[in-house]
Structure 1
Amino acid sequence: MRSGYFKERYGELIVLTDSPTVKAWTVVLVAALVAAPLLLSNYLLSHMTIILFTLVGVLGLTVLTGFTGLISLGHVGFLMLGGYTYAIGVTRLGLPPELALVLSAVVPAVFGLIVGIPSLRLHGLYLAITTLAFSYIVSASILGGGSFTGAGRGIQIARPTLVGIDLSGDRAFYWFCLFMAVLAMLATLNFRRSYIGRALVAIRDNDIAARTMGINLVRFKLLAFLVSAALTGLAGALMGMYLSFISVESYPFLLSIEALAIIIVGGLGSVLGAVLGTVFIVTLPDLFSAVMSMLGGRLNELLTTSAHEIKSVLYGLAIIGFLRFDPRGLRGIWHDIRHAWVYWPLRY
């Protein structure tokens, strides 16, 4: 009798899923996401768009921190590089939007290699501080770049027409972000299942043992930084298109904390966790705002005047809460619910 986990061929071990139920629900979910702009209000459509391009950046951090175990506090630097590369390429250099979008991944990837070099000897807090310093260097360089980078004034950009598709409308831009998010998810899932992905996980679990097994730590750590920075830079370009304006203030340090909160709350090293964590963390401030609006009074005034600080507090509480009560994150909770449903009433 098939137990649900027994595999007969090697292909079944590496396939993303062999469950007809999962495939059916995936089709339903994708169809619902594609049809969402036709049913949602402008506010909800904007919220969904934010979730999608945030997910692309979170997947980049998942490769670095979730798969490889290298902690980064400066991923906002790669976001800035991606956004400014696209903006400068389109407005200053006159590049086609398609080429500028590709460069928004390539340029951060190159800088990812540069930042990744210290990771060969640094671990933990020391590496985190190094990446944090990198983000401040990027910010200072942009502010000192004069008219070329826009300095403190920023750069105004318009949503482009890519491969003949006009993205100026909110619906078209949502569908484009959905396409990029699905593409990033598939790339990350297959990257994790490859030899490279398994090597990164081995480095995360025990780098000494990984070296003993013949894994080149230099090569794979630098590769993790490269892939992570490329995805994050792409997310920065999408964010710039969404805002239609690029400035240093558009990429605050809080975004790095938000990304860390997402992968911790969702579940470290999991693409599903990245998705669940992104939806939860991006929606959390709006839910809190709705509750405060219902209560009214001084709490609602506080939310208006201290939104940035309240976001920081919410992210901190989410991180502490999940680390204390369920370190597996939302992914672990989801698996418990799924197993309880599948094996009911024989679970216990």
Structure 2
Amino acid sequence: MRIGAAKESYAADAALFDTPTQRAWATILAVLLVAFPFAANEYWLYLACLVAINIASAAGLNLLTGYTGLVSLGQAAFMGIGAYTVAVLQARFNLHFLPNLLAGGAAAMLCGILVGLPSLRVKGLYLAIATIAAGVLAHFIFSHWTAVTGGTGGLTVKPAQAFGIDLDNSFRFYWLVVPVTVLLLVGVANLMRTRIGRAFIAIRDRDISAEVLGIRLLPYKLLSFAISSFYAGVAGGLFAYFFRAITPESFPLVMSIFFLAAVIVGGMGTVLGSILGAVFMTLVPEVLKLVMGWLPISGNTALYLSPVRTIVFGALIVLFLIFEPHGLAELWHRLRRTFHLWPFRT
């Protein structure tokens, strides 16, 4: 029995969906996700798969940066480790995609723990520089460990298989990447309702006070790095299966900046922020590209105006930072509050 918005048990307070309305919306969303590939064309299916991969990686980075307060610019490197692990296992042992993805996540997780070791001594900008150094080292290994990674030429990846069917196009791959991404998101949402998640938040808000209260900083920071890197490794494995060819240039520093921007624009410290940020960062450039294509301009003029898309995209990010630093998730919550109070709000 509930009294107002209060809950009478810890289990009820920790429930992922605690109202019938939330469960109804979750059901509607699940139905839409199932129906989408039957209604969309190849182009939108491609974007949907790419968005799902980016959401999985952004969720991992948000756990580290948004929930634990540790800034990282090594997300692309961890994705690369997962992608190369999947590519090597697929080529040499022809394993099923599930153990390959888990192995890719585990390899990235081990590297993430090593990268996270300095996090007890440094934080903020200094930690970000340390993760950049890890990314540079990973890129060097990808480029020069030719016997394993194929060097600058990279590796090709066979398509994932499920029930003897090759997931070799966007429609088939959709049924792999979306369920995996949903599971990862549910994992983050549930983790934040546990003692571990609350320890992450305490470290983010005031690490010294958290340590005084008995929270051991190094184990929890390393655990945050491990989980975040695991998510990045799984996303990298999905990236390898999706594009079926990887090179060292597939995981540049710009990709890490992309995911950090997605977390900031979407809203740090929220699962919804990971989703909205990844969707925004992936789709807005495509929308701008479509708008430029609809304009009645000649080929030469379009060539000169092509940098305008990048300028507009950057301007949108800056505007979000200025006018809504809490990101798209805060806009969504504000909109919900508006409808809850309508028509009685002033």
Letter in 2 for 1:328: H
Q: 2:148, 2:122 → 1: CA distance?
A: 34
Paired-residue identity, %: 37
Q: State which of 319, 326, 329 in structure 2 corresponds to 1:328.
A: 326
TM-fit CA distance, 1:151? 0.1
Q: Aligned residue pairs: how many?
A: 343
Which residue is equivalent to 1:346? Answer: 344
* Matches for 1:248-259 after TM superposition, within 5 Å: 248-259=248-259
CA contact (8 A) 1:49 1:177 kept: yes
Q: CA RMSD in A?
A: 1.8
Cα distance in 2 for partners of 1:151, 1:252 equals 15
Q: Deviations over 1:180-205 (max 9, x none)?
A: 01100110101111100000000000
SS of the residue corresponding to residue 5 of structure 1 reads coil
Cα deviation code 1:134-174 (max 9, x no counterpart): 01100101111113211011111121214655322422210
Q: Mean alpha-carbon deviation: is it higher for 10-19 or for 42-51?
A: 10-19
Change in Cα spacing, 1:93 to 1:165, as seen in structure 2 (3 Å) is closer
User: Deviation per CA, 1:203-232, whole angstroms, max 9, x where unpaired?
Assistant: 000000000110000100000000000000
Whether the 8 Å contact between 1:258 and 1:315 is mirrored in structure 2 is no
CA distance in structure 1 between the partners assigned to 2:163 and 2:134 by the alignment: 34
Q: Which amino acid aligns with 1:86?
A: V
Counterparts of 1:253-268 in structure 2 under 5 Å? 253-268=253-268
Q: Is the 8 A contact 1:60 1:227 kept in 2?
A: yes
Task: Give the drift of 1:328.
Answer: 1.4
Unaligned runs of 5+ in 1: none
Instruction: Decide which moves more: 157-166 or 136-145.
Output: 157-166
Equivalent-residue separation in structure 1 for 2:345 and 2:9 (angstroms): 28
Q: CA–CA distance in 1 between the matches of 2:129 and 2:89?
A: 30
Contact 1:257–1:315 (Cα < 8 Å) also in 2: no
Which residue of structure 2 lines up, in the alignment, with residue 286 of structure 1?
286
With normalisation by structure 2, the TM-score equals 0.94
Paired residue for 1:29?
A: 29
Match of 2:171 in 1: 171
Aligned pairs for 1:127-138 (under 5 A) are 127-138=127-138
- What corresponds to 2:54 in structure 1? 54
Instruction: Determine whether 1:40 maps to 2:37.
Output: no
Could you list the runs of 5+ residues in structure 2 that have no partner in the other structure? none
**Correspondences of 1:1-348 after superposition (within 5 Å):** 5-162=5-162, 164=164, 166-295=166-295, 296-297=297-298, 298=300, 300-302=302-304, 311=310, 313=311, 316-348=314-346
1:96–1:341 Cα change, 3 Å: closer
TM-score by length of 1: 0.93
Alpha-carbon spacing, 1:320–1:3, altered in 2? closer, same or farther (3 Å): farther
| Contact 1:66-1:270 at 8 Å conserved across structures | yes
Amino acid at match of 1:206: R
